[in-house]
Chains A and B, each alone.
Chain A
Amino acid sequence: MKFAKKLVALALTASLAVAMSGCGGGGDKKPAAGGAKKAEEVKWPTKPITLVVPWSAGGDTDFFTRTLGKYLTKELGQPVNVTNVVGGGGSVASNKIKDSKPDGTTFLCFDTAMALNHSCGISNFGYEAFDPVCMMAKGTGEYFVVRSDFPANTLKEMIKYTQDHPDTVKLAANTGATSYYVAVRLKELGAKFNIVNGGSSSVRLASLLGSHIDASTNAMGLLNQYLPKTGNGSLKILACLATARSEAYKDVPLAKEQGVDVAYDMTYNVLAPKGTDPKIIEKLSKAIGKVINENKDYAAEIYKTYGAKPFYQDTKEAVATLKAEDEQYMKYSEVFKKGVK
């Protein structure tokens, strides 16, 4: 009776599956109270939502998205899943979401690198190919990091060092990422780095430790564990590349304070495929805004790992910010496309 046994096995598996789904799998929970009390509430979400991150797990965008997603689940009443779609400097994910169904189940969580993808030519579109939902975070900036025994203590000294020893200091820069912009700017300011590809953010830090590269641009997060005061002291920061000092890391000097004119901000956004129902976008945006502005646990978590303060911009403001970012980097388009060698 071989197929009787098979049926028993299948039945067991089926009952196991039912038991699991009862324990909180993809079930429908009641929508949480809160959110705009409009006259006509749009019936969304009815299915789990996916937030797509264009980088591999462990980086800053991934962190902000996952932390937000965690609290958003409770806010929206449907599971919010985060998946990583890696490749092409983020363009594989952005292409995928751009062409996906605008039914309110999938969203792209990207960052400033999207504008860089556009200007480097890796993708032939920018934020306008999507329906932006909101801005969900602003980092404290990226930092110029080297090993602690490197013979330079500020970014200005570093530039001088590279001029004295041209082509020997390996700086990690990935095409289509903010690190590329930094490399190009420093080259314009006279630095003579050997610009190489670096891999994801945690890979770059490991490469620094192993002396495979000598300098890198990284957001805080994992970096904290390598710094002198907060970690094991194997790496040090030469300058912060943001436009203003952050409250969490007030002792870190800015590049522009040192006379090195490189300053940009890292912003993180949420985008929907073009054609998504504006009511869905509005509801999502408001839910995200609620989490960011009101949830104390969220605020504590992002401060702990990234020193970030809650930052949120609604749809209209987000579009303006994205537009400004796009324009800022599109100015460099010609330079980027020529390559950095």
Chain B
Amino acid sequence: MIAEGMSAVLLNPTCIFWVFIGTFVGIIFGCIPGLTATMAIAMFLPVTYNMASTQGISVLTALYIGGISGGLISAILINIPGTPASIATCLDGHPLSAKGEAGKALGVGIVFSFLGTMVGLLALVLISPPLAEIAIKFGPYEYFSITIFSLTLIITLSSTNVIKGLMTGVLGLVFATVGLAPIDSVERYTFGNPNLNSGFDILTVLVGVFAISEILLAAEEARASTGDGSTVITDFTIKGFGFSLAEFRTQIFNMFRSSAIGIILGILPGIGSGTSNMLSYSVAKSQSKYPEKFGTGIIDGVVASETANNATIGGTIIPLLTLGIPGDSTSALLLGALIMKGIQPGPLIFQQNGQIVYAIYAAMGLSSLFMLFIMFFGMRGFVRILKIPGYLLLPLVFVLCTVGAYGINNQLFDCYALLFFGFVGYLLEKGKYPMSPLILGFVLGNIMEMNLRQALSYSHGDPTPFFTRPMSCTFLVLAIVSLIVNIFAVYKSRHKKTAQV
């Protein structure tokens, strides 16, 4: 069965061709802000109807991998994450690019995306049963605690001003409350508009806050500047992947830690690469010997973010195949595709449909290699995008964002939502508030509230199980500790500054 599944992918030229196409298209969709891997898969589904199961699922897997990996390109080059999975990549990727080291940033992102996927795949192949067991043990208490932990860690590490970080984070949570409430489905802040019943779409929030605000800010700056938009002299001659073997060696531990974070968050349905990249970045920063360098342009940040978001792919596939629970909207489409092919995921999937499982493994590996290959050759071309002056590039990006927003539901409402969040992002930038906590709050808001209420309904309103259950208690304690430690650190450094003056 193993051989049958893998050879269906690896030894079949048509399949190899389609995996290549899938990876390529996925990367394109991933790197353009406004277009997502989910969209790419939704569009490709009809194409796969007539394909054999192994081939169809392989293409979709390739799209998924390409989509997650591609986000780093726009994150690094134009400071706009192509997907929520690459938000943290902007934080150090773009400063590197601004310093003229775009090639290095891209190279690091690409190689470690590849490594992250591979480690995730390894975990999938070797230890998915025990990982699935862990996934089952996570109940609402644990989910709530881990989301609180992620929120506090990321917020406190997002900027030197903890108060502002918290405010933006809670603002993200606030936007997540718009729509029908979890559990009892009452309308909240929908103002009678049925378009808001399912809440805002992550795309409009992400792209609005990051991309549209860039445009509005550029409007102020560019008219005054005398440069040609790309004022930095970028080194366009890139050797190999743009970074040295010595630099690679320094990142090995970072890579394994980030992969672990990515895989663990992947196996928890509902929490995916959008969160894992930021959490991994924050953990890397807090454990680093030079945390103050994070955000100025060091490869550690890019490694942490890109390894984690790709490792999450492997993690997400575990509950998808063994429990039939998709981890995010993209893998939900994969689940739909599997069901249409007559494959029912569950604990017996290895016995009943083993060849599909191994085909997925093979497709993942193959697609990662293609991704490495395509991006390696594309690197030098991508970097040249920097040569396009901002005053032309930003409007083009906005048009693509509009295409993406419109494509969510074929209505203009989402385009207006895009503008709304652009305005919000603009105001936040003007007020010097950090933006990544907003996205994180928005992404985790519903999961957090739903699990809180579910947990409380289990215990009849009694909050003690949050602290008596070991895993839940651990995460809550970690959250409180990290909050205190970080406030203290900021307080200390501020005192040091005034003492030095």
Contacts and interface: CB of A to CB of B under 8 A. Distances in A.
Given A99-B194, A222-B324, A81 B45 contact: yes
Contacts of A278: none
A203 B325 contact: yes
B458 A210 contact: no
Interface string B370-389: 00000000000100100110
Interface in A38-84: 48, 56-58, 62-63, 66-67, 69-70, 73, 79, 81-84
Contact of B458 (A57, A176, A196): A196
Given A70-B340, A167-B460, A212-B458, A57 B333 contact: yes
A304 B344 CA distance: 10
A194 interface: yes
Interface in B184-212: 184-185, 194, 197-198
Interface size class of B (residues with CB under 8 A): 35 or more
A196 B461 CA distance: 12
A62 B336 contact: yes
B457 A89 contact: no
A202 B325 contact: yes
B198 A232 contact: no
Nearest to A339: B184
A95 B190 CA distance: 14
A336 to B, nearest CB: 12
A118 B187 CA distance: 16
A222 B344 contact: yes
A2 interface: yes
Interface in B16-58: 21, 24-25, 28, 42-43, 45-47, 49-50
B323 A206 contact: yes
Contact of B347 (A23, A194, A221, A232): A232
A2 B387 CA distance: 8
A62 B43 CA distance: 19
B326 A176 contact: no
Interface in A277-334: 301, 304-305
Nearest to A198: B454
B183 interface: yes
B135 A206 contact: yes
Interface string A176-195: 10000000000000000010
Contacts of A48: 46
B390 to A, nearest CB: 13
Interface stretch (B136-144, B150-158, B358-366, B428-436): B136-144
B453 interface: yes
Given A13-B28, A196-B454, A91 B137 contact: no
B136 A25 contact: no
Given A99-B194, A206-B325, A79 B339 contact: no
A42 B325 CA distance: 41
Contacts of B272: none
B136 A210 contact: yes
Interface residues of A, number: 67
B372 to A, nearest CB: 20
Nearest to A99: B194
B335 A57 contact: yes
A5 interface: yes
B67 interface: no
Interface string B289-328: 0000000000000000000000000000001000111100
Interface string B118-137: 00000000000000000111
B194 A96 contact: yes
Contacts of B49: 24, 70, 73, 79
B347 A231 contact: yes
B460 A66 contact: no
B2 interface: no
A129 interface: no
B342 interface: yes
Contacts, number: 146
A170 B352 CA distance: 32
A48 B387 CA distance: 41
A57 to B, nearest CB: 4
Contacts of B326: 56-58
B198 A87 contact: yes
B180 interface: yes
A58 B325 contact: yes
Nearest to A123: B185
A209 B269 CA distance: 15
Contacts of A206: 135-136, 319, 323, 325
A103 to B, nearest CB: 12
B332 interface: yes
B344 A196 contact: no
Interface in B437-458: 453-454, 457-458
Contacts of B342: 67, 301, 304-305
A58 B47 contact: no
Given A202-B325, A210-B139, A57 B332 contact: yes
A59 to B, nearest CB: 9
A202 B49 CA distance: 24
A197 B325 contact: no
B346 interface: yes
Nearest to B18: A23
A63 B339 contact: yes
A225 B21 CA distance: 35
Contacts of B137: 210
A196 B336 contact: no
A166 B319 CA distance: 33
Interface in A248-304: 301, 304
Given A91-B185, A176-B185, A194 B460 contact: yes
Contact of B344 (A26, A82, A194, A221): A221
Interface in B235-281: 269
B345 interface: yes
A87 B336 contact: no
Nearest to B388: A2
Interface string B457-470: 11010000000000
A176 B184 CA distance: 9
Given A95-B194, A167-B460, A301-B342, A5 B136 contact: no
Interface string A22-40: 0111100000000000000
A333 B340 CA distance: 36
Contacts of A82: 336, 340
A174 B47 CA distance: 36
Interface of A: 2, 5-6, 9, 13, 16, 20, 23-26, 48, 56-58, 62-63, 66-67, 69-70, 73, 79, 81-89, 91-92, 95-96, 99, 122, 167, 170, 175-176, 194, 196-197, 199-200, 202-203, 205-207, 209-210, 212-213, 221-222, 224-226, 231-232, 234, 301, 304-305
5 contacts: A6-B388, A70-B49, A81-B45, A96-B197, A212-B140
Given A24-B46, A25-B43, A225-B348, 12 more contacts: A9-B381, A57-B336, A63-B339, A67-B339, A79-B49, A85-B198, A96-B194, A175-B183, A197-B457, A210-B136, A210-B137, A304-B342
> What 8 A-B pairs come out closest when comparing CB atoms?
A225-B346, A212-B139, A210-B136, A202-B324, A57-B336, A225-B348, A88-B180, A88-B185
